[in-house]
Chain A
């Protein structure tokens, strides 16, 4: 297991990732393989190991590697019917007893091909381990990215995950979380932004299997144009899991009349001494707040933007590293200003 990942700037394509964050180790994963090695990424953190630096994994897909070879005949045919490039990825994170780490997962697609990525991420926290994942998803409109996170959390272990789904044709995040030991904690939050015809799906099964565990879910979305977001969240408290505290919230802000949000927050409780709640809202920008800002000379466009940033703030606030938080904030703001959406030729909208 390599522990020191070095920033590898020699990437074949023009990659416009700005300077890495201070105290961040970078590792590129190209088409699912660790750069320079022919294997998928896996991290094993030994017992008691505390990783101080943030490990940033930049997962990029380039069509170069597996672009189908066209015969002259099929080349002309492919103009009408675009080739679909499908890729299956997997990665594994194992945090042994009392280890701790912070991971930043960035997902990008390089070329404008019609990518379909199916990804499987396994996250295991052993007793007393703690981990924070920031998942930044930023792909183009023709990309489909389905990710399944299988998460197992042991006694007294703590997991925090923040999803920032900035951009992407179809993004689907499925989380299967098992709270396998007493006093385990799991904090999941996410911000998704959709516009044009983008589709975002979040599916969560959060299984409380043992007593005294805590879980929290906060997912918020801002949907513009014809964007669609679906949220299926389920908290399952098994008969053994007394003293469970589990909360779930999904809030959607519709910016246009054509955007749609579907939300299904669900609770299944089989124990009798628990604290659980769930809630969901679908709303619009607040007219009175907008008016208040305008009377102070803030133009409507900026007022709307401020309000959206305010809505997003609660999720961004969960990013513990200040520098990373402010970078994510500015990315979200730029995204809301439509700076990415206007730039159709660029597929490298990364942080």
Chain B
């Protein structure tokens, strides 16, 4: 699914990623943990194609193709999804118009005709239910005036509509209370397919109580310093990162 080889990336002169290696196979759930400033968000931004990051060396293959050959929209069409840590507000663009445009662009790319209004509404209602989103959200501006939890639910709703092969969820748990966390995690779990993969980027172990990872990686100072099974997350929760960094 995804192969990251010796990936180096920087913003301006500052190198943030200093040789990341990671292999994600179909069906796997990977968690990437690490303290602030370790490069977690940079990694997700680079994978999604944000343009102010420079990839200086290394490569990323997504289903055998060089990911960096594609624009952010092409990556989306190929099945990559990034759940934002801070979802962007777009005043004036309604949620429904936004997601409809996105879904139909995906369909266009697959050579399918746009969904009819009725088909689209049916799909939207069904997927909004995944994250217990009220239908009144559809007519509001994208993320405008949404609470932290509502924004994250909206991210998972978009993911449900686009059905990605690989979802990268960047700090999806930040700013969520326990109920919202459960709703978001349930949404992610309901979307799980044997052939689809997920990368969960998080500070805390608590999201991993709900979304059980197959692998846990610790990112520090632009490198993965340790990889293990889900028990590693528990250990980090107990002991912090210091023993890994200094050890």
Contacts and interface: CB of A to CB of B under 8 A. Distances in A.
Instruction: Determine if chain A interacts with chain B.
Output: yes
Interface of A: 287-289, 291-300, 302, 306-307, 309-314
Interface of A is mostly: helix
B82 A293 contact: no
Interface string B46-57: 001111000000
Interface residues of B, number: 30
B105 A302 contact: yes
A319 to B, nearest CB: 15
26 contacts: A287-B51, A289-B88, A291-B49, A291-B72, A291-B88, A292-B84, A292-B90, A294-B49, A294-B71, A294-B72, A294-B73, A295-B75, A295-B84, A296-B76, A296-B98, A296-B158, A297-B73, A297-B106, A302-B101, A302-B105, A306-B93, A306-B98, A307-B90, A309-B93, A311-B92, A312-B92
B87 interface: yes
Given A294-B71, A297-B106, A310-B93, 9 more contacts: A291-B51, A291-B72, A293-B102, A295-B48, A295-B84, A296-B162, A300-B71, A306-B93, A307-B90
B166 to A, nearest CB: 13
B36 interface: no
Contacts of B72: 291, 294-295
| A-B pairs with lowest CB-CB distance, top 7 | A310-B92, A297-B76, A294-B72, A313-B92, A292-B88, A296-B102, A294-B73
Contact of A310 (B48, B84, B91, B158): B91
A302 B84 CA distance: 21
B90 A294 contact: no
> Which of A293, A296, A310, A311 neighbours the largest number of chain B CB atoms within 10 Å of its CB?
A296
A88 B78 CA distance: 59
Given A292-B84, A306-B97, A298 B92 contact: no
B123 to A, nearest CB: 15
B105 A307 contact: no
A293 B98 contact: yes
B109 interface: yes
Interface string B64-103: 0000000111011100011010011011110001110110
Interface in B22-46: none
Contact of A314 (B75, B82, B92): B92
Which of A293, A302, A309 lies at the interface centre, i.e. has the most chain B CB atoms within 10 A of its CB? Answer: A293
Contacts of B98: 293, 296, 298, 306
A220 B49 CA distance: 32
Nearest to A296: B102
Interface string B109-120: 100000000000
Contact of A297 (B87, B92, B102): B102
